[in-house]
Amino acid sequence: KAGVTQTPRYLIKTRGQQVTLSCSPISGHRSVSWYQQTPGQGLQFLFEYFSETQRNKGNFPGRFSGRQFSNSRSEMNVSTLELGDSALYLCASKGRGATEAFFGQGTRLTVV
Amino acid sequence: QKEVEQNSGPLSVPEGAIASLNCTYSDRGSQSFFWYRQYSGKSPELIMFIYSNGDKEDGRFTAQLNKASQYVSLLIRDSQPSDSATYLCAVNTPSPGGYQKVTFGIGTKLQVIP
């Protein structure tokens, strides 16, 4: 069974640009959560999608948005990038009725 | 107060010793608790989860939960250099809308010295 797949693995963007990250969950998993990980703040929750609906949202500015498609694949978008957005972005999927989440390998975003 | 608190470490233990990793949480409504291991440059991987008070053992790992004290711990027996990683405590808490939200601690860096 394939794991959670995130693309791309690495990205370098310039301040002010926007970026879209993709996450394909484990087959059959309908819940996808996104996290930002930085050395100082640890893993911070961005949002969770389930069946194409956002059902949880963390404390991030509106520049961070996401969506989920009917096949459960999810995308995260960050507009007007700032240097502080440089981080590892992780997505995790959960199965039906499960509480444990499985992570993808992450996308390392560097904003210069 | 942070929702999930962990000492960032590093915690250094000699090979073969017991490593004890601790985590406290603030929301008494929290229902399930997880330990993830994250090697440098890699993504977190689930080691164990626990729902009920008491101990849960899996091989060299034991998770302990005390809901009255809002405390979760992870013991690693016979620590190996390959256990050197950051250990993340995660807590599942109810959020508005009736769903569950997973909150992570900052993680404790464990170093096992050969």
Query: Residues 35..64 of A with a Cβ closer than 8 Å to B: which?
Result: 35, 41-45, 48, 50, 55-56
* Nearest Cβ partner for A42 among B45, B49, B104: B104
The Cα A8–Cα A21 span in angstroms is: 7
Would you put residue B19 in left (φ > 0), alpha (ψ -120 to 50) or beta? beta
Q: Does B49 touch chain A (CB under 8 A)?
A: yes
CB atoms within 10 A of CB A14: 8
Which pLDDT score, from 0 to 100, does residue A8 have?
Answer: 97
End-to-end CA separation in angstroms for chain B: 36
Interface test with A, best of B7, B33, B43, B47 (most A CBs within 10 A): B43
**A43, B49: Cβ pair inside 8 Å?**
no
The mean pLDDT of A79-85, rounded to a whole number, is 97
Give percent above pLDDT 70 in chain A.
99
**Average model confidence (pLDDT) for chain A?**
93
Q: Which two tokens stand for residue B33?
A: 């608790």
Which helix (H) or strand (E) covers residue B16, if one does?
none
Which pLDDT score, from 0 to 100, does residue B44 have?
Answer: 95
The Cα A16–Cα A112 span in angstroms is: 10
Q: Which residues of A touch B107 (CB under 8 A)?
A: 42-43
The Cα B16–Cα A12 span in angstroms is: 42
Q: Among A15-24, A82-91, B89-98, whose mean pLDDT is lowest?
A: B89-98
The mean pLDDT of A38-48, rounded to a whole number, is 89
Query: What is the number of residues in chain B?
Result: 114
CA distance B43 to chain A (A): 5
The Cα B13–Cα B79 span in angstroms is: 8
Cis preceding-peptide flag for B10 (omega within 30 of 0): yes
Q: Does B106 touch chain A (CB under 8 A)?
A: yes
Q: Using the predicted structure, report yes or no on whether residue A1 has a pLDDT greater than 90.
A: no
Environment class of A13 (CB within 10 Å of its CB; exposed 0-12, middle 13-18, buried 19+): middle
CB pairs under 8 A between A and B: 50
Would you put residue B78 in left (φ > 0), alpha (ψ -120 to 50) or beta? left
Which pLDDT score, from 0 to 100, does residue B1 have?
Answer: 66
Low-confidence ranges of chain B (pLDDT < 70): 1
The mean pLDDT of A58-77, rounded to a whole number, is 96
